[in-house]
Amino acid sequence: DIQMTQSPSFLSASVGDRVTINCKASQNINKYLNWYQQKLGEAPKLLIYNTNNLQTGIPSRFSGSGSGTDYTLTISSLQPEDVATYFCLQHSSRPFTFGSGTKLEIK
Amino acid sequence: QVKLLQSGAALVKPGDSVKMSCKASGYTFTDYIIHWVKQSHGKSLEWIGYINPYSGGTNYNEKFKSKATLTVDKSSSTAYMEFSRLTSEDSAIYYCARRVIDWGQGVMVTVSS
C-alpha cells in the first residue's frame, strides 16, 4: 500500500497568511492526488483534484502543486472560514490511501 | 445537483451486522463508481472499496475484504454497504462518495452492548 505522510498535523496561522500543507507519498503517484477540506461535523469536500485542478466553486485562494512523491496545498490568504481539517488522498493505485490530516486554526 | 443521501445512525451489538444505504440523485447512477470510506472518531480516513453500479463489479481494500459487502439496486439508484461481525473497532462514520468527488453526509455506526 502507498503510505501518505502529511505535515504538519496542526497549523495555527493568522487571517491573511499564506499557508502550505504537504503530503509525501511512499512512491510515485503520478499526480493522482486530491485535497479535501473537512469542517467539524461535515463530510469531506473536494478542493483540488489531480494535484492542481480547482474543483468547481472552490475559491481561487486554494491551489495545489507537486509531482512524483511530493505534493502541496496552498491557501494564499487565509480566511476565517478556512478553519477545518485538510486531507490528501492518493488515487494512483488501490487501495486508495489518505494522509493523516492537518488541523488548521486561526491565531 | 448531485446528492448522496445516506441512511440514519445505527446502534448495533458486537457480533451483529449493519447494512447502510446511499441513495443517489441528480445524475445517471450507473455512470459513476461509488466509493465507501471509514472515518474513526477524530481520526483519518480509510478507503474501504468501490462498486461499479453498471456492472456490479467491486474492488475492496484487503483490510476490509472479509468485513464489507458492497451492492447496488439500480432500480432505486441506491448503493449499499453491509458490515459484518461488528466489534468496537468498527464504531465510526461511514461515507459513500461518487468518484471520491461528491460525498454523502455520513452514517454514524456505534457498536456497543
Overall average pLDDT of the A80-89 stretch: 97
Probe site for chain A from B34, B40, B45, B58 (most A CB atoms < 10 A): B45
CB-CB under 8 Å, B106 with A97: no
CB-CB under 8 Å, B105 with A95: no
* Cα of A85 to nearest chain B Cα, Å: 10
pLDDT at A74: 98
Q: What residues of chain A, 14 to 53, have a C-beta less than 8 Å from chain B?
A: 34, 43-46, 49
Among B59, B102, B105, whose Cβ lies nearest the Cβ of A94?
A: B59
CB B101 within 8 Å of CB B32: no
CB-CB under 8 Å, B100 with A89: yes
A100 and B CB contact within 8 Å:
yes
Neighbours of B2 (CB within 10 A): 13
pLDDT tens readout for residues A3-32:
999 999 999 999 999 999 999 999 999 999
pLDDT at A72: 98
pLDDT tens readout for residues A31-40:
999 999 999 9
- Closest residue in B to A6 (Cα–Cα): B44
pLDDT at B104: 97
pLDDT at B111: 96
* Cα of A2 to nearest chain B Cα, Å: 12
B17 and A CB contact within 8 Å:
no
CB B24 within 8 Å of CB B3: yes
B106 and A CB contact within 8 Å:
yes
For residue B46, name the pLDDT band (cuts at 50, 70, 90). very high
Least confident segment among A15-24, B17-26, B41-50? B41-50
pLDDT at B41: 79
Burial of residue A10 (CB within 10 Å: 0-12, 13-18, 19+) is: exposed
Overall average pLDDT of the B67-79 stretch: 97
**Cα dihedral value A77, A36, B86, B23, nearest 10:** 120
Amino acid sitting at position A28: N
For residue B42, name the pLDDT band (cuts at 50, 70, 90). low
Pairing between strand B34-39 and B45-51?
antiparallel
B95 and A CB contact within 8 Å:
yes
Average pLDDT value over all residues in chain A? 97
Above pLDDT 90, what percent of chain A? Answer: 100
For residue B43, name the pLDDT band (cuts at 50, 70, 90). confident
Q: How far apart are CA B83 and CA B80, in angstroms?
A: 10
Read out DSSP for A46-97? EEEETTTEEPTT--TTEEEEEETTEEEEEESS--GGG-EEEEEEE-SSSSPE
- Closest residue in B to A93 (Cα–Cα): B61
Q: How far lies A92's CA from each of A28, A31, A96, in Å?
A: 9, 8, 7
Q: Which residues of A touch B67 (CB under 8 A)?
A: none
Residue B44 has pLDDT above 90, yes or no: no
